[in-house]
């Protein structure tokens, strides 16, 4: 259904079939390329902060002004209900959690890049040996 797997595209699929495939991918728990392993609590926290992250993007703000207004309203109501300190602390905790997730992803990418580089170096040596 994507550029990642063009060989698996079937022109007979309907929009409904494609959406069902996307939904099944989103609820699948098996690790896949680009996925992150999170607990249900982390997923819930990511979902709660999704709009907050999106409204920071200028293009998102331009395309979805009604969601920006909704976010501002929700934040005002949360501050009224929980207090500014509590909301600020929750946002800081989320930022710390999100940063550590990104650091883990960056470390994994570095390890994969190192492994790929090592693999290419070995292939180069083997190829050179066959030529000699």
Q: What is the pLDDT of residue 112?
A: 65
Instruction: Give the phi and the psi of residue 123 in degrees, each rounded to 5.
Output: -60, -40
Q: What is the pLDDT of residue 18?
A: 76
Average pLDDT over residues 38-48: 79
Helix axes 65-82, 84-131, angle to 10 degrees: 130
Q: What is the pLDDT of residue 102?
A: 61
- The 10 Å Cβ neighbour count of residue 71 is 17
Average pLDDT over residues 81-85: 85
DSSP structural state of residue 7: G
Q: What is the pLDDT of residue 65?
A: 92
Question: By C-alpha distance, which of 94, 62, 61 is closest to 78?
Answer: 94
Contact assessment for residue 54 and residue 60, using Cβ atoms and an 8 Å cutoff: yes
Q: At 132, list the tokens.
A: 């000699």
**Is the predicted pLDDT of residue 69 greater than 80, yes or no?**
yes
Per residue in 112-121, pLDDT (tens digit) is 666 666 666 6
Contact assessment for residue 38 and residue 31, using Cβ atoms and an 8 Å cutoff: no
Q: How far is CA 125 from the centre of its chain?
A: 37
pTM above 0.75, yes or no: no
Contact assessment for residue 61 and residue 68, using Cβ atoms and an 8 Å cutoff: yes
Per residue in 5-28, pLDDT (tens digit) is 677 777 777 778 878 877 777 777
Q: Cα–Cα distance between 132 and 130 in angstroms, integer? A: 6
Per residue in 86-122, pLDDT (tens digit) is 888 877 777 776 666 566 666 666 666 666 666 666 6
Q: What is the pLDDT of residue 74?
A: 85
Contact assessment for residue 22 and residue 42, using Cβ atoms and an 8 Å cutoff: no
**Is the predicted pLDDT of residue 131 greater than 70, yes or no?**
no
């Amino acid at each position: 259904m994507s550029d990642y797997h063009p060989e698996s595209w079937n022109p007979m699929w309907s929009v409904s079939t494609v959406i069902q495939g996307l939904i099944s991918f989103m609820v699948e728990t098996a690790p896949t390329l680009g996925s992150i392993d999170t607990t249900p609590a982390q997923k819930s926290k990511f979902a709660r902060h999704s709009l907050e992250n999106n409204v920071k993007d200028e293009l998102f703000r331009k395309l979805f002004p009604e969601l920006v207004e909704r976010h501002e309203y929700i934040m005002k109501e949360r501050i009224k209900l929980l207090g500014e300190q509590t909301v600020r602390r929750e946002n800081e905790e989320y930022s710390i959690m999100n940063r550590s997730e990104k650091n883990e992803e960056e470390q994994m990418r570095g390890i994969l890049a190192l492994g790929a580089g090592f693999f290419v170096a070995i292939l180069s040596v083997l190829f050179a040996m066959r030529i000699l």
